[in-house]
Amino acid sequence: MQSLNPDISVIGTFAAAYFSEDDPIIHAEVDPENTGINLQEGEFAFQATIDPYFRADTFFSVNRNEFEIEEMYATTLLSLPLNSQIRVGLMRSKFGRINTQHRHFQDFVTLPLTAAAFLGEHLNPTGVEFNFLLPLPWFSELSASVNSPDGLETTTFARDENANNLARLLYIAHLSNFFELSDAMSLSLGGSFATASNGTERGNRSNLYGLDLFAKYRPLENSSYQEIKLQSEFIYRQAETPEGNLDDWGAYGQIVYRFAKRWDTGVRFDYVDTNDRISPIEGEEEETLGLFGKELRYAAMLTFNP
Amino acid sequence: MKLYKIFFYMVFSIFLLISAHDAFAKVKIVSSVPNFGDIAEEIGGDKVEVKSLSKGYQDPHFVDAKPSLILSLNRADLLLYTGLELELGWLPPLITGARNSKILTGNIGNLDCSTLIPNILEMPTTKVDRSMGDIHPGGNPHYMLDPRNGIPIAKGIADRLKEIDPENASFYDERLGDFVRRLNEKIKEWDEKLVPYKETEIVTYHKSWVYFSDWAGFEEVGYVEPKPGIPPSPSYVAELIRKLQKDKIRLIIAESYYPQKVPALIAEKTGASFLVLPSSVGVREGINTYFDLFDAIVGEVTSKLASITTKAGDFQDSN
Ligand SMILES: [Zn+2]
């Protein structure tokens, strides 16, 4: 039997944060909780080509008290009909952009409110995903996956009582397009859709719609380490609950400038709006499918990549 | 692990397509960097279609793995790359996205060109760790800067082309013979130009000229980068300046994609000349072939060294 010698990497993400309010509301577990320096996460990655036709990727994340399998999946490498590629396992779903980015690739130490509110930090169900390269002159990939809604952190999706109904599984689709405007300038545009039962009552579902945009400017010639990145995502959620239907949305936009080889700086705005009718009562912990009411937040960052 | 592999094969063998051989189609070659692409074009002529993933003016260690590059790899019959982990940061994710069995490791369409080079420099003899610098863990990957290495590369590419497209084997052989003859002639010519400058002591920005120096007979006495891939600190630069002054080093070399401020400053403080040299086909207009590349490198180095020696001579005369 062939020996498995995976590439192993260990990455620690430390975050220094400054909050302008004394008692900031924490939306994502891994977000820093107060002003100061924190170990956010240690990530262990094991990546190996199993044989010439498959590769396996596994990512564990650990922090002081917790251990999580973030991803564990296999990917086909070989030529398949319709230019498809299949991934099987536990994966960060292709829903928008930030959801597929591991912590240390994210530009800000706090997670965008949209990801915290609608995706449960990250949406990483277990499932099968089909990715088709569309026969177009630019890079265009259509992804469709069927997943189990069990065990997710998000409150948007949950298992239905009628667990045998295939229609209640978590279905996710994503279309991503990449345009090379010039050698230095590129633009990605994507659209996402996810639907599954939400566990509030038999037959109730949640639908998530997403739009994502990413633009990058990086001159290739001299001092090629400078770059500017613009990233924005919009998520709209419809959910059926016993109290009525929810219509919530959120968006974030960020711009990051790499001004020297190892230095990034940037700003982000963040907004989530929930349906007024059943928004949580002031001062109480109660949430409606993970939402915490209307919130607007700004963040600025400076990163040194050692 | 075993069971789920069996499951995979069962599912996907149902899907596998038998690709029909098209006798009139050109062999599609994708090269990670332009140098291999140019040699492939010399061998393949109009029987091949060549595309390079990076530009000659780009730092080959840090290429953006743009999804648009996946499209070329998706259709490729042959992938040529440097190996020795030069493209480690960007080529593997592109190959993963390419969905192309032909170019996977171990297949005929995957050619790690470093395997063709008889003498890889700086092969690690001790255990490699990151403290030795970032980017040359398996030996120095800048072997194309010795023109003598163009010959085994051309032979290796021709061998693969003959396997992929056996009908045109004699065509490839003929063009290979012609290329090797022309390159050998040129190497003789460049050698003669370089003879007067043997044992010239130089400083380079990155450890990317070791093969060139090995061929030209130059001696590398320092680097602007303290370790490959690590930018210099002010104290390191100060020390390097003292070294250049003490040893009277006259020439500093860098590629165009490295920051020019620091080497220019060192040159200014020490009276050395700072030369930005082309390092790849396509680095600028007029350098379209592997021959153009060395015509430019050898021409620019020798004329700079000639002017330095003349100046030094004048200085002695006036004494
Ligand atoms: Zn290098």
pLDDT class for B1, splitting at 50, 70, 90? very low
> Cβ separation of B67 and A183 shorter than 8 Å?
no
Q: Average pLDDT of B55-83?
A: 94
- Asked if B67 and B156 sit in the same domain, the reply is yes
Q: What is the structure's pLDDT at A1?
A: 29
Q: Average pLDDT of B135-150?
A: 90
Alpha-carbon distance of A132 to A85, in angstroms, equals 6
Q: pLDDT tens digits, residue range B197-218? A: 999 999 999 999 999 999 999 9
Amino acid at B82: T
Of residues A214, A231, A302, the one with CA closest to residue A270: A231
- Asked if B178 and B311 sit in the same domain, the reply is no
Q: pLDDT tens digits, residue range A72-87? A: 999 999 999 999 999 9
- Asked if B114 and B177 sit in the same domain, the reply is yes
Amino acid at B33: V
- Asked if B178 and B77 sit in the same domain, the reply is yes
> Cβ separation of A133 and B74 shorter than 8 Å?
yes
What contacts A150, CB < 8 A, 6 or more positions away?
A: A125, A126, A159
All residues of chain B having their beta carbon less than 8 Å from the beta carbon of residue A186 are: 66, 68
Q: What is the structure's pLDDT at B13?
A: 52
- Asked if B10 and B119 sit in the same domain, the reply is yes
- Tell which of B151, B167, B190 closes a domain: B190
Contact of A28 with A111, CB cutoff 8 Å = yes
Domain span holding position B16: 2-190
pLDDT class for A2, splitting at 50, 70, 90? very low
Q: What is the structure's pLDDT at B315?
A: 44
Q: What is the structure's pLDDT at A222?
A: 62
All residues of chain B having their beta carbon less than 8 Å from the beta carbon of residue A180 are: 66, 68
* Residue of A168 and A38 predicted with greater confidence: A168
- Tell which of B190, B225, B242 closes a domain: B190
Q: What is the structure's pLDDT at A23?
A: 57
pLDDT class for B245, splitting at 50, 70, 90? very high
Q: What is the structure's pLDDT at B127?
A: 59
Radius of gyration of chain A (CA): 20
> Over 70: is that where the pLDDT of B130 sits?
no
> Cβ separation of B57 and A53 shorter than 8 Å?
no
CATH number at residue B74: 3.40.50.1980
Q: pLDDT tens digits, residue range A136-160? A: 999 999 999 999 988 787 778 888 7
Contact of A121 with A44, CB cutoff 8 Å = no
> Over 60: is that where the pLDDT of A288 sits?
no
- Asked if B50 and B157 sit in the same domain, the reply is yes
- Asked if B299 and B233 sit in the same domain, the reply is yes
Q: Average pLDDT of A45-53?
A: 84
Q: Average pLDDT of A101-111?
A: 83
> Cβ separation of A76 and B107 shorter than 8 Å?
no
pTM: 0.86
Contact of A264 with A301, CB cutoff 8 Å = yes
* Residue B136 main-chain phi, psi, to 5 deg: -125, 55
Q: Average pLDDT of A105-117?
A: 84
All residues of chain B having their beta carbon less than 8 Å from the beta carbon of residue A176 are: 67
Q: pLDDT tens digits, residue range A18-40? A: 667 665 566 666 677 667 776 77
- Asked if B47 and B106 sit in the same domain, the reply is yes
Number of domains in chain B: 2
Mean pLDDT of all residues belonging to chain A:
83
Q: What is the structure's pLDDT at B40?
A: 98
- Tell which of B166, B190, B214 closes a domain: B190
Using CA atoms, how far residue B15 sits from A73, A151, B166, B266, B302, in Å, is 20, 32, 28, 61, 59
Contact of A173 with A147, CB cutoff 8 Å = no
Q: Average pLDDT of B247-276?
A: 93
CA of residue A105 to ligand 1 center, whole Å: 24
- Asked if B33 and B140 sit in the same domain, the reply is yes
CA of residue B253 to ligand 1 center, whole Å: 14
Alpha-carbon distance of A19 to A285, in angstroms, equals 21
Q: How many CB pairs under 8 A join A and B?
A: 95
Q: pLDDT tens digits, residue range B269-289? A: 999 999 999 999 999 999 999
Burial of B169 (0-12, 13-18, 19+ CB in 10 A): middle
Q: What is the structure's pLDDT at B135?
A: 64
CA of residue B84 to ligand 1 center, whole Å: 10
Contact of A33 with A15, CB cutoff 8 Å = no
- The number of CA neighbours under 13 Å toward the Cβ of A213 is 9
> Over 70: is that where the pLDDT of A4 sits?
no
Identity of the highest mean pLDDT range in A47-61, A255-269, B110-124, B290-304: B290-304
- Give the CA-trace dihedral at A99, A103, A109, A112, to 10 degrees: 10
> Over 60: is that where the pLDDT of A287 sits?
no
Tokens of B75: 């259709």
All residues of chain A having their beta carbon less than 8 Å from the beta carbon of residue B101 are: 52-53, 77-79
Q: Which CATH architecture has domain A75-304?
A: Beta Barrel (2.40)
pLDDT class for A272, splitting at 50, 70, 90? confident
- Asked if B138 and B210 sit in the same domain, the reply is no
* Residue B197 main-chain phi, psi, to 5 deg: -110, 15
Q: Average pLDDT of A81-109?
A: 91
- Asked if B127 and B15 sit in the same domain, the reply is yes
- Asked if B175 and B33 sit in the same domain, the reply is yes
